[in-house]
Amino acid sequence: MIPVILCGGSGTRLWPLSRRSYPKQFLSLMHEETMLQKTISRLQGLDFETLIFVCNEEHRFIVAEQIRQMGVEEATILLEPFGKNTAPAIAVAAIHAKQSHKNPTLLVLSADHEIKNEEAFRSTIIEAQDLVTEDKLVTFGIVPTYAATGYGYIKRANELKFGFEVSQFVEKPDSELAEEYFQSQEYYWNSGIFMFKADVFLRELSSFEPEIVEQCTLAATDMTPDFGFKRIHAHAFNLCEAISIDYAVMEKTTHSVVAPLDAGWSDIGSWESLWEQAEQDENGNVQIGDIIACETSNCYIHSEGRLVATLGLKDTIVVETSDAVLVADKTSTQNVKEIIEKLSTSNRSEVHSHRNIYRPWGNFDSVDEGNRYKVKRITVNPGARLSVQMHHHRAEHWVVVSGTAKVYRNDEEFILSENESIYIPLGHTHSLENPGIIPLEIIEIQSGAYLGEDDIVRFEDKYGRQKPAD
């Protein structure tokens, strides 16, 4: 078995915590681990040789760092140049898996699912393997707990030794139809979790979407290795139709079966669903961060930094971050996309990124800025190094807050400890390295006529980056 973990996502439904540059699968929402890390950890106990991750290029260093923290050694990270939905992504992963394994079984997972009963999840996966050996395409149907309108449904047909033949896939229903599905006990929520042999999936996909298989074969056999990643061939992949695995294969094939999964599953698709899944206090509140809640009930209150105090609130979502605050009626959170649309129309940065920006070497937080100056708090991971670079329009002053810094400035080398500082004049070639075993934190004060991230000329970079903001 080879688990294939799909790490895509636009990062809009849980705004402002989730952003396009840092969507929900990379956040710690229910556990100390992020959702991606939780997806990995729940695989423990299953028999698999390696992992395949599929993500877009913008998120590659986040994925690499989070799986490194999990101690994952045998893994491949495939980089999508464009989002083409799930069918092409899975096809490329299947073709790649076959290059090193004769005919592996693929377990396809999304990186942004919550599953409370992990033992039940693993048991269901193990039982469903018998269906895979019979060349079935297995989709895992969630046993409904209420009449949900936010999920697609799968109607079961004839019962098998384990699972059922699929009668039909149906779209998200209205409330009346959802209640009918729920009461009939013949329908399951469509989880987006699949298991099948790579050959069988590619054979069925080729029957219905032969051009996708043709282009994905070109894209997968002409991938470019890139510092631990594999870049999918952009031109070939771009010719693929953007289509889901459900539309491309599962709704058309006669080999699909549904295996019931009763394991406390949720895709955390809204703030309301996160409130439902999270641990609540005696007043029905979920409180994360520095919170004082008075006369408040059935609310989700999340603070990233500042004190949040509530009084007389009911059924409300309050989420505070360093650059945005969301206050919403709990039943309206499916419509967060309206806020995203307005932010996008206004070209607001809050739709795309947090104030805290992640890089392969660590991260930085833009603490303050004004006319001709900007202040950042920079964290460099142990052993990491920023690129050798220079700036045309700004000078920089670095003050070490904690850790040890190795600084290169033109032909000079300096070792700086806590409370020591250094000045980098405009036009000087420089780099910053953390030679220690604890994170290095510095305060950077930039001054100059232009302070944009694109004022970086790179001469050398251990992470293979070319673009300034990459």
Each domain of the chain, given as residue ranges in start order, spans 2-266, 279-344, 356-460
Q: What are phi and psi of 200, to 5 degrees?
A: -65, -45
Q: How far is CA 287 from CA 26, 160, 278, 294, 309, in A?
A: 20, 45, 10, 12, 11
Q: Which of 409, 374, 346, 342 is nearest to 365 (CA)?
A: 374
Rounded Cα distance, 288 and 274, in Å: 12
Return d(Cα 58, Cα 135) in angstroms, integer: 36
| Residue 20 contacts residue 10 (beta carbons within 8 Å) | yes
- pLDDT per residue, tens digit, the chain (470 aa), is 999 999 987 778 899 999 988 999 999 998 889 999 999 999 999 999 899 999 998 899 899 989 988 988 889 999 999 899 999 999 999 999 999 888 899 999 999 999 999 999 999 999 999 999 999 999 999 999 999 888 999 999 999 989 999 999 999 999 999 999 999 999 999 999 999 999 999 999 999 999 999 999 999 998 888 878 999 999 999 999 999 999 999 999 999 999 999 999 998 888 998 999 899 999 999 999 999 999 999 999 999 989 999 999 999 999 999 899 999 999 898 889 999 999 999 999 899 888 888 888 999 998 898 999 999 999 999 999 999 999 999 999 999 999 999 999 999 999 999 999 999 999 999 999 999 999 999 999 999 999 988 899 999 988 877 666 66
Q: Which residue is associated with the tokens 């070792």?
A: 415
Q: What token pair was written down for 14?
A: 């849980």
Euclidean distance between CA atoms 251 and 245, whole angstroms: 9
Task: Give the rounded distance of the alpha carbon of 421 from its chain centre.
Answer: 37
> 247: which DSSP letter?
I
Say whether the peptide bond before residue 16 is cis (omega within 30 degrees of 0).
Answer: yes
What is residue 340's predicted lDDT score, i.e. its pLDDT?
93
Phi and psi, residue 421, nearest 5°: -145, 170
Backbone angles phi, psi at 352, to 5 degrees: -100, -45
pLDDT at 371: 92
Q: Which fold has domain 356-460?
A: Jelly Rolls (2.60.120)
pLDDT value of position 155? 96
Fold adopted by 2-266 = Spore Coat Polysaccharide Biosynthesis Protein SpsA; Chain A (3.90.550)
User: Hey, do 2-266 and 356-460 end up sharing a CATH topology, with the first three levels equal?
Assistant: no
Unique residue bearing structure tokens 């006990």: 185
In whole angstroms, give the CA distance from residue 281 to residue 14. Answer: 22
Amino acid identity for residue 95 in this structure:
I
Contact yes or no for 294/307 (Cβ under 8 A): no
Angstrom distances, CA of residue 109 to CA of 30, 131, 159, 246, 267: 18, 18, 25, 14, 11
Q: How far apart are CA 401 and CA 417, in angstroms?
A: 8
* Predicted model pTM: 0.88
What number of CA atoms fall less than 13 Å from residue 70's CA on the CB side?
24
Q: What is d(CA 53, CA 36) in angstroms, rounded to the nearest whole number?
A: 10
What are the φ/ψ torsions at residue 150 (nearest 5 degrees)? -95, 0
CA-CA distance, 337 to 344, in Å (whole number)?
10
Q: How many Cβ atoms from other residues are within 10 Å of residue 77's Cβ?
A: 22
Give pairs for 164-171: CB < 8 Å, separation 24+: 164/257, 164/258, 164/260, 165/256, 165/257, 165/258, 166/139, 166/250, 166/256, 166/257, 166/258, 168/251, 169/246, 169/250, 169/251
Phi–psi pair at 45, nearest 5 degrees: 105, -15
Q: Which of 333, 252, 347, 346 has the alpha carbon at shortest distance from 300?
A: 333
Give the per-residue pLDDT at 197.
97
Cα 232 to Cα 217: distance, rounded to the nearest angstrom: 10
